Chain A
Amino acid sequence: MTDHLLFADGLVKTYPDGDVHALNGVTLGVNAGEYVAITGPSGCGKSTLLNVLGALDRPDQGEVYFRGEAISKRKDLDHFRARQIGFIFQSFFLLPSLTARENVQVPMYEGPIASVRDRAKKADELLELVGMAKRANHRPTKLSVGERQRVAIARSLANNPSLLLADEPTGNLDSANAVQVMDLLTGFQRERNLALVIVTHSPEIAERADRIVKMKDGQVV
């Protein structure tokens, strides 16, 4: 358990509106720098698992450990999420009133960079890395879906996390954009030794992973 960056131990999650176990005793370890793809049919509990791993949701039973420490015992879960985890969503979830540069800065309010100027500089660097430097002043509505996801990737890296959690990151993209986005993600994962956990329906994306975790009916199979 202590060897893993992230270790989920016997997670059980039942939603109050039904008897269905979204997670039914899931145990899973993720190492630093490892790329794990979680696959399975719709409703098998993939996204729920990702939310619990990312401290966005709490399990009914079981525990998630990050670097050996039980995250349920942490009192600073928001701080933990801000500093250690980068989220990437299928629908990008960029704030429409902000430019690409400003969107990337949103997590930085809770990050280590105190200076406004340094935060803007860091955002520009990240946008450069994802090939969006020239579009930094554009709002999401003026960007293509592929560009939006690249901005979302830059945002996920804002506070130099050690773990990236991506929920169907290419689900809304065409194949060319999907390849670009996955190249970016896996590139960062290798260069920065990030743990990357991706929920996907795509066999191509899953095949690129170091390890594939298949789920069915709330369990790892």
Chain B
Amino acid sequence: MYFLSFILKNLTRRPIRTALTVLGLAVAVGSMISLMGISHNVEAAVAEGFDRRGVDIVVLQSGVVEQTSSEVEERLVDRVLRIPGVDPKGVDVALISMTVLRRGNSDLPAVTIGWPSSNFGFDDLMILSGRRVVEGDFRKVMLGATMAENLKKQVGDSIELQEKQFEIVGIFKSFSVFENGAIVMLLPESQEISSRQGKITGFSIRVNKSLEHPDADIEAVRERINALTDDTGRHLSAQTTKDYVKTASHVQLVKAMSWMVSVIAMVIGVISMLDTMIMSVLERTQEIGILRAVGWPRSRVVRMVLIEAVILSLAAAAIGSIGAIALTYVLTLFPKVNGFIESGIAPVVIAKGFAFTVVIGLIGAAYPAVRAALLLPTEAIRHD
């Protein structure tokens, strides 16, 4: 009989308790994995958006970490374009704002993106139906595929934004989950409906980099942009895309939530495991005494209890991961959410979830394991 078989028999002798322990831990771990997965997906989506467009620097108003709260003079773009090293065709100006659309009797949060007609972001949009917005369009918008589905709209329909009717001229699909859930229009119209004429929320920049020292080239451009001020003396904040992803408030918010839930999950998991393993050890006091009497060293008793905990943890992590994947899929069925998150959990997050759960299990089982090992054989055998 393998030692592992012996341990499995211990776990299966109280199947309901084992199942409930696994289930309790799985719920805690599943919540943690799903939030960690969403956080990972948001961060990855932002980073991928920049990577695929070759963006090196993100520019926002200084002191602002959230793009929708940023306000930059559009005129500054010309000054940025004059900075040596900035790719003249690689400045992606945008005005991004949040709005609320009526959908039947409910409100639907929506992101509007205003781009100049020359914006290189248009090149990445796959037109599913209709066409893209072009210079000269008036009160025309394009909808991301997710947004079109949420609104049940198609080309030729109209939507109301800030009490103005806009005709939908195209439905597109982007590699970015955020763009798929957004409304895209020309920059002037976006500035008009948000009452921010002459303003943008920020822009992203491609830098002409040398092969020898690309990072230094990016840094040089970044420093020059940071030195710029607008008419009121406000500075710009130029960040590398990596730094932007790290500090972007929406990414940070989701990350903070995922860590908060992780801590709660950890506390629940440790208490649950501690409770189960203490009960299990207490019930088996006499048996542990026998094992010690027939020559099992303390280390084997500790291993027995810890491996039992690890097996429970792995089962909980497996069930929790499946639950988390299902949960993120179900969440994307809700229109209020599906423009902001992607379904599925990255393998690296699942791996982290497994590792985290095993650590939870080991922490929870440590005290019962030591307690079991320290039992004196003669006293344990007499225990009833």
Contact = CB atoms under 8 A, between A and B. Distances in A.
A40 B376 CA distance: 26
A102 B286 CA distance: 18
Contacts of B296: 78, 82, 109-110
A106 B6 CA distance: 9
A150 to B, nearest CB: 17
Interface of B is mostly: helix
B282 to A, nearest CB: 16
Interface in A79-103: 79-83, 85, 87, 89, 93, 95-98, 101-102
B1 A51 contact: no
Interface stretch (B21-29, B64-72, B97-105, B287-295): B287-295
Q: Which of B2, B295, B377 gathers most chain A CB within 10 Å? A: B295
Contacts of B6: 98, 102, 106
A102 B1 contact: yes
Contacts of B376: 57
Contact of B300 (A54, A93, A110): A110
A87 B2 CA distance: 23
Q: Which of A78, A80, A83, A96 gathers most chain B CB within 10 Å? A: A78
Given A56-B293, A97-B10, A51 B378 contact: yes
Given A78-B298, A98-B6, A106 B378 contact: no
Interface string B4-47: 00100110110000000000000000000000000000000000
A73 B286 CA distance: 27
Interface in B171-226: none
Given A51-B378, A95-B287, A78 B292 contact: yes
A20 B286 CA distance: 25
Interface in A26-68: 51, 54, 56-57
Contacts of B295: 78-83, 85, 107, 110-111, 159
The 10 closest A-B pairs by CB, nearest first: A82-B295, A78-B297, A107-B294, A110-B295, A97-B13, A81-B295, A93-B290, A97-B9, A56-B377, A57-B378
Interface of A: 51, 54, 56-57, 78-83, 85, 87, 89, 93, 95-98, 101-102, 105-107, 109-111, 116, 119-120, 155, 158-159
B297 A95 contact: no
13 contacts: A54-B293, A57-B378, A78-B295, A78-B296, A78-B298, A79-B295, A81-B294, A95-B290, A97-B10, A98-B1, A109-B3, A109-B296, A110-B296
B297 A79 contact: yes
Nearest to B287: A95
Q: Which of B290, B294, B378, B381 gathers most chain A CB within 10 Å? A: B294
B9 A116 contact: no
A124 to B, nearest CB: 12
A111 B294 CA distance: 10
Nearest to A89: B381
A57 B378 CA distance: 7
Nearest to B384: A91
Interface string B252-293: 000000000000000000000000000000000011001111
B269 to A, nearest CB: 26
Given A56-B293, A109-B296, 5 more contacts: A57-B378, A97-B13, A102-B1, A106-B291, A110-B297
Contacts of B12: 97
A53 to B, nearest CB: 12
Q: Which of B290, B298, B300 gathers most chain A CB within 10 Å? A: B290
Contacts of B287: 93, 95
Nearest to B295: A82
A164 to B, nearest CB: 13
Contacts of A51: 378
Contacts of B294: 81-82, 87, 106-107, 110, 155, 158
A91 to B, nearest CB: 9
A110 B295 CA distance: 7
A116 B2 contact: yes
Nearest to A51: B378
Contacts of A111: 295
Nearest to A156: B294
B293 A116 contact: no
Given A87-B293, A110-B295, A110-B297, A56 B378 contact: yes
Contact of A93 (B3, B13, B378, B381): B381
A81 B293 contact: yes
A182 to B, nearest CB: 22
A116 B377 CA distance: 26
Nearest to A47: B378
B303 to A, nearest CB: 10
Contacts of A83: 295
